[in-house]
Structure 1
Amino acid sequence: MVINKTTPTLFEALFPILCLIVLLTINAFVFEDTLAGSNQTALLLAATIGGLIVHRQGLGWSHTSDQIIKTIGSAMPSMLILLLIGSLAGTWMISGVVPAMIYYGMDLINPHVFLVTAVIVCSLVSVATGSSWSTVATIGVALLGIGKSLGLSHPVIAGAIISGSYFGDKISPMSDTTNLASAMAGTDIFTHIRYMFYTTVPSMTLTLIIFTLIGLNSTPEVPLAEPTSVKQAISETFYLTPWLFLVPLTLLTLIIKKVPAIPALMAGTLLGGVFAIIFQPDIIREISGAGTDYFKASYFSVMQSIFGDIELKTSNDHLNELLNTSGMRGMLNTVWLILSAMVFGGVMEAGGLLSRITQPIMKKAKSTGALVTSTVGTCLFFNATASDQYISIVVSGRMYKKAYDDSHLKPEVLSRTLEDSGTMTSVLIPWNTCGATQSRILGVATLDYVPYCFFNIISPFMSILFAYLNIKIRRIKPTTKHESHN
């Protein structure tokens, strides 16, 4: 057995992370899409630097590689889930499930409660798609046009759109950040989602109340042209029927019955494919171009939606962007990121570098509230310095996992904190990839819409509040009767 000959200094422990931050910052200026490989490479380069420090401690490569393999193994279920989520998104799109959600969601638009309706509509779409970016770029843009015509403040409209869009980014099982946070903490994705509702429901409730109060000060007349054109494009392209909602209801039932994520998502994927064959023959033929051979057309279209790109065309250009899916292939960059992050995390853990960083924090974080607050602050720090929500979740998750274990907290406490802070605050930073992207799409400066992103602002404070008040804090070994019921 190899013995650690030296203990890393705090500077040595921080140096790989500092190098990572520098590399990620450069990536943000040089590369348009940092998730396409540059951030993954930065993680591997930072891992190399960490490996040299670990080697200097006297630890052999076999020790480091064993830890890397162990760390990657812990994230393997989440990577499989991500691939299945890509396939599920594909079959749900061609079956008409997601378009139906959008179609009926548009009916919620009411001129007297436009802002709160915008939050609800964006929430529904983002939950269905798992993507805040797609929601903002499509339905969000349409809602922005409506809000502008009502004479409402552009930053307020943007805040409502972003609040709703990040609701789905946070709790949808198809969201990459939802899967990433659960993977970093080492918990099942559905356990993670169910546990997040404790802080998410009150945060969203407050958000809806605030936007309702703001909306009551205006009595606009809504021009129905834009939502009507979206609905018309959907109805012209898809066969819409309430039977389509059996697909998400089936998946929801499996989740409630605590069926493991992988078989549940596979069932949802296959059921979506079956419904596509039954209800959307025109879509099937359009994708495949197979003519009269419906068996060949069905097989090709369903398989293509599971693993590859699907582009559905309607009469509405904004809607077309939302209807494009990439199946499992679209998840490969995120899987690549997780693999690279696990290598970095494995190296940092092999030499005790992460534990060395958290030691000073743990000495001061004597309570659960202090630990959660430290995690929130760290996620915000990485969102501001690394300019990427994925890095914020990954590095913070690996840094604090042992600290939460030592405090006898269940992993979902960490995963929820990562989402409440890492995912939610990313869009509030102007130079973060999320903040920069949403500002560009909506045409509103980040610092202008920040005061109105109520859901994103409230979420981290709600997580801290629950921790300090010991509300629904799950522990591995409860120490009091009250905690055993949480």
Structure 2
Amino acid sequence: MDFLIAVIIFTLSLVLSISKGISTIYPLLIGMAAFSMVAYKRGHSLKNIAAMNIKGMKKALSLMPIFALIGMITALWRASGTISFFVYYGTKIMNPDFFILFAFLLTCVVSFALGTSFGTCGTIGVVLIVLAKSGGVNTYAAAGAIVSGAFFGDRCSPTSSSANLVAVVTDTDLYTNVKNMFITGLIPFVMTVCFYIFLSGKYPLNTKNTELLNEIASYFNLSFVTVIPALVIFFLAIMKKNVKISMLVSIITAFIICLTVQDIKLYELLRTMLFGFHLNPESSLAKIISGGGLLSMVSVSFIVLIASSYSGIFEGTGMLNDIQGFLVKMSEKIGVYLTTLFTSLATCAFCCNQTLPILLTEQLMNKIYEKKGLTKEHLSIDIENTVILTAELFPWSIAIAVPLATLSVDAGAIPYAVFLYLVPIINVMRLPKWSTKNLSVKI
């Protein structure tokens, strides 16, 4: 009963924060306090409870340098013209008769480079939705394609905070996970492309508003050299270099381009790395290109750290034992993957974000995977194929609410974001039981 009361307190605080537009840090702190009180009531000392919280947070500490690099790289890519290069030339080569397909493919490229769905929707996504509205394209269909592409990279980019979080909590290799995500996402990707080809035929772009593109070209030097920071990430990812090294090299490259190509002063560039890239608020590009910076990742870092403390409390007190027992029985009847999918849907609906469901699903399912003789890589890819995408199927989740608000559309766009649910559905059709220990070889 005490655990249920803590869950209700956390849920109510989360609902209130979302409805009032308050940072989720506060309900997470309330939840941490509520679950800590349950632990105290069950006989654990305050010292032990603090140790549990710290133990949980330690899992996420290794992510902090990566988050810092992500903040700086997204700011410098904006300042160096790298993002503008993708937006400008990607939109330029777009075939109006296949606008929705191009919207999906272009956002896939940008999101894989950036590793963030929010950043993708806030840059190329805004440009594409403006083009869709001016060209008479169904905005729900266009937004669905944009969201699908945005979460393509959010799921499998080496620079994605969620991909790095999954790798850390499951103790798996990031690039092995990326490879497995491409394997398990190939069929859903092809089916998504076919769907958007069909929608493109129904909703072609009638006109192309070039005002934004002209303003981008007038503000930035868009020579080919500006795309080098992104190419560095792609190349080093293929070479399986440490993601922190890859991002650091990209940051240095973008830094040099900012100084030499975009003529940004050194002190302005250092401020950009800390506070983000910001254009004149009167410019129509301000809301599209501005953003990033080291400080932009502070909130994300706190959210991950606080959410990680829950796993320490749950593990140390055994609060989730009853739920785990229920899931063990479920896995015997419907299989491990479907049980993971069910768990992801339940945790995403309850937690309204990606971070905590990742941690909860891993903690609830890891022993089941061990019992079935499955590797950590199996658990990792199943979390990527469920939690990372199912979180966006709930309109009240921050994971989808922010991108939709950025694109100025409502939840009517979610049914058109087919990649989000094709990946979980298609992977249900895999072998009912894992037949191999090497996921990368056979599925």
**Secondary structure, in 3 states, of the residue corresponding to 1:249?**
helix
The answer to whether structure 1 residue 170 and structure 2 residue 155 are counterparts is: yes
CA distance in structure 2 between the partners assigned to 1:416 and 1:374 by the alignment: 14
Contact 1:78 1:179 survives alignment (8 Å):
yes
The answer to whether structure 1 residue 115 and structure 2 residue 115 are counterparts is: no
Q: TM-score, normalised by structure 2?
A: 0.89
How far, CA to CA, are the matches of 2:211 and 2:403 in structure 1? 24
Q: How far off is 1:138 after superposition?
A: 4.3
1:135–1:322: 8 Å Cα contact kept in structure 2? no
Distance in 1, matches of 2:134 and 2:441, equals 53
Which residue of structure 2 lines up, in the alignment, with residue 25 of structure 1? 15
Whether 1:241 aligns to 2:223 is yes
Query: What amino acid maps onto 1:126 in structure 2?
Result: S
Residue 16 of structure 1 and its aligned partner are, at CA, apart by: 4.0
Q: Of residues 387, 395, 398 in structure 2, which corresponds to 1:430?
A: 395
Deviations 1:436-459 (A, max 9, x none): 44444444431x323211111212
| Residues in 2 aligned to 1:78 and 1:120: alpha-carbon distance in whole angstroms | 29
Could you say which residue in structure 1 is the equivalent of 2:191? 206
In 1, the alpha carbon distance for the partners of 2:71 and 2:435 equals 34
Distance between the aligned counterparts of 1:457 and 1:244, measured in 2?
35
Change in Cα spacing, 1:154 to 1:413, as seen in structure 2 (3 Å) is same
- Aligned equivalents of 1:467 and 1:93: distance in 2? 44
Matched, 1:271 2:253: yes
1:379 to 344, 365, 371: 344
Match of 1:304 in 2: 271
Distance apart, 1:473 and its partner CA: 6.3
- Shift of the 145–307 alpha-carbon distance from structure 1 to 2, 3 Å rule, reads closer
Partner in structure 1 of residue 360 of structure 2: 395
Distance, in Å, in 1 between the alignment partners of 2:6 and 2:184 is 33
In the TM superposition, what is the alpha-carbon distance from 1:320 to its structure 2 partner?
2.3
The within-5 A match list for 1:277-296 is: 277-281=259-263, 284=264
What residue identity is the alignment partner of 1:308?
Answer: F
Instruction: Find out whether 1:344 has 2:329 as its counterpart.
Output: no
1:25-174 alignment runs, 5 A limit: 25-30=15-20, 32-35=21-24, 37-53=25-41, 56=42, 58-61=43-46, 63-174=48-159
Please give the residue correspondences for 1:406-417 in structure 2 after superposition, counting only pairs within 5 Å.
406-417=371-382
Report deviation, 1:484. Answer: 7.1
In the TM superposition, residue 275 of structure 1 has moved relative to its aligned partner by 2.4
Unaligned runs of 5+ in 1: 1-10, 285-296, 476-482
Q: Determine if the alignment matches structure 1 residue 232 to structure 2 residue 200.
A: no
The residue type equivalent to 2:12 in the other structure is V
TM-aligned CA deviation for residue 150 of structure 1: 4.2
- Once the two structures are superposed, what CA deviation does each residue of 1:307-353 show, in whole Å capped at 9, x if it has no partner? 32320349852x32232233221111111111111211101100122
Q: How far apart, CA to CA, are the structure 2 residues paired with 1:189 and 1:95?
A: 27
Q: Give the CA deviation at 1:17.
A: 3.8
- Any idea what the Cα deviations from partners look like across 1:165-202, whole Å, max 9, x if unmatched? 22222223343333333333233433332321122232
CA distance in 2, matches of 1:274, 1:472: 47
Instruction: State the percentage of identical aligned residues.
Output: 24
Give 1:89 deviation, angstroms.
1.5
In the alignment, which residue of structure 1 is the partner of 2:207?
A: 223
Structure 1 counterpart SS, 2:222: coil
User: What one-letter code is carried by the residue in structure 2 that aligns with 1:262?
Assistant: K
- 2 CA distance for matches of 1:388 and 1:143? 25
Distance 1:323 1:222, change over 3 A: same
User: Where do 5+ consecutive residues of structure 2 fail to align?
Assistant: none
Residues 20 and 46, structure 1, Cα contact 8 Å, conserved in 2:
yes
- The 3-state SS of whatever aligns with 1:353 is coil
From the superposition, tell whether residues 266 and 151 of structure 1 become closer, same or farther in structure 2 (CA, over 3 Å): closer
SS at match of 2:429: helix
- Residue by residue over 1:129-158, the C-alpha shift from the partner in whole angstroms, topping out at 9 and shown as x without a partner, is 333234334433432343344443332222
Distance 2:245 2:205 in 1: 47
> What secondary structure does 1:331 align onto?
helix
Normalization by structure 1: what TM-score? 0.81
Cα-Cα RMSD = 2.9
**1:331 pairs with one of 297, 302, 308:** 297
Q: Which amino acid aligns with 2:207?
A: P
Distance 1:443 1:87, change over 3 A: closer
Structure number with larger C-alpha Rg? 1
User: Are 1:458 and 2:422 counterparts?
Assistant: yes
Q: Secondary structure at the match of 1:23?
A: helix
